[in-house]
Amino acid sequence: MRPIILNSQITDDVVFGENVKVVQPVNIYGCTIGAQCFIGPFVEIQKNVVIGKRTKVQSHTFICELVTIGDDCFIGHGVMFINDLFSEGGPAGGDSSKWKKTTIGNHVSIGSNATILPVSICADVVIGAGAVVTKNIEEPGVYAGNPAKKIK
């Protein structure tokens, strides 16, 4: 039996601002990407994601549905955004009513391999590499660790 083969793609329903650079292969669909953004290779950006102007998303990053990222942000290599908290002991699957939103403010830098659960992060924040953000961040500063805590 032959497998079903799906190719990475950029679908026609993506809204791009001016001067966006995308390095393929990527899988980008149903989202909005602001002007002058950079999207690296091996990135997936799902539907209902909004990325602000001049934001850079580095390679191997996964941005799931219901994520909003502000202007002038940096998303490092291998950053994972999570929208399913397994609230009933397992994955919600296709039941998007169980998924939660993530909002990232302007001028936020997220280091490589960080994991961002459904939270709100205010403007002017740095998230250290490998950090796991489990709670809202309401005060500018530098956060690191698992769970992420303010260190500066």
Contacts 24+ apart (CB under 8 A), 122-131: 123/70, 129/76
CATH number where 140 lies: 2.160.10.10
108: containing domain: 15-87+96-150
Number of structural domains the chain divides into: 1
What is the rounded distance in angstroms from the CA atom of residue 136 to the CA atom of residue 14?
Answer: 29
What is the rounded distance in angstroms from the CA atom of residue 136 to the CA atom of residue 120?
Answer: 5
What is the rounded distance in angstroms from the CA atom of residue 63 to the CA atom of residue 48?
Answer: 10
What is the rounded distance in angstroms from the CA atom of residue 53 to the CA atom of residue 14?
Answer: 15
Give the C-alpha distances (Å, rounded to integers) separating 113 from 99, 116, 144: 22, 10, 12
| Whole-structure pTM value | 0.94
- Is 7 a member of any domain? no
What is the rounded distance in angstroms from the CA atom of residue 109 to the CA atom of residue 94?
Answer: 30
Going residue by residue through the chain (152 aa), what tens digit of pLDDT does each one get? 999 998 899 999 999 999 999 999 999 999 999 999 999 999 999 999 999 999 999 999 999 999 999 999 999 999 999 998 888 788 887 778 888 999 999 999 999 999 999 999 999 999 999 999 999 999 999 999 999 999 98
- Is 1 a member of any domain? no
Say which amino acid occupies 19.
N
